[in-house]
Amino acid sequence: MKTLILGCGNPDRADDSAGLLAARRLRELGVDAREHGGDMLSLIDRWSGCDDVIVIDAMMSGAPAGTTVVLDARAVEVPRGQFHCSTHAFGLAEAVELARSLDRLPPKLTIYGIEAGNCESGGALSAEVAQAVERVAGEICRGIPY
């Protein structure tokens, strides 16, 4: 079974870097995790051929910063508008739903969303999001078979 872990985000936009930081933390813990900092549409090609995909990304739903959610994207539609911390119009939800319509979702797709508080360019990572990155990395690490 081929597992792919992708942390998404923009390193220059404060809390939007949460997914990237979680991927880096997972690598420090000995887990193979990749960073994805560009076009969300290219996720469909990145997860092609993988059986189990975990995506970590910042989100903005109105919950307190650092709140985390876990979605089984095979079972539920990814909420549009919540995974748009950057200026890109085509976000994670749109990529997943396009893949669903093209029958290109991996057999298992789990999304970890970390609620962002500040996604301003050049801003600092908030303490709440930094703590959430640690929690999410630990949770994923405990669930990965070695």
Q: What is the pLDDT of residues 42-64, one digit of tens each?
A: 889 999 999 999 999 999 888 99
The Cα 78–Cα 83 span in angstroms is: 9
**What's the whole-model pTM score?**
0.90
31's tokens:
């887990």
Strand pairing class (3-8; 34-36) = parallel
Calpha distance 64→10 (Å, rounded)? 20
Domains of the chain, start order:
3-143 (3.40.50.1450)
Backbone angles phi, psi at 112, to 5 degrees: -100, 115
Look at residue 83 in the predicted model and tell me its pLDDT. Answer: 58
Q: How far apart are CA 6 and CA 23, in angstroms?
A: 7
The predicted model gives 72-88 an average pLDDT of 70
Beta bridge pairs of residue 44 = none
The answer to whether 4 and 43 are in contact (CB under 8 A) is no
Residues 81-115: tens digit of each pLDDT: 655 555 556 788 888 999 999 999 999 999 999 99
Bridge partners (DSSP) of residue 36 are 8
Q: Are 111 and 57 in contact (CB under 8 A)?
A: yes
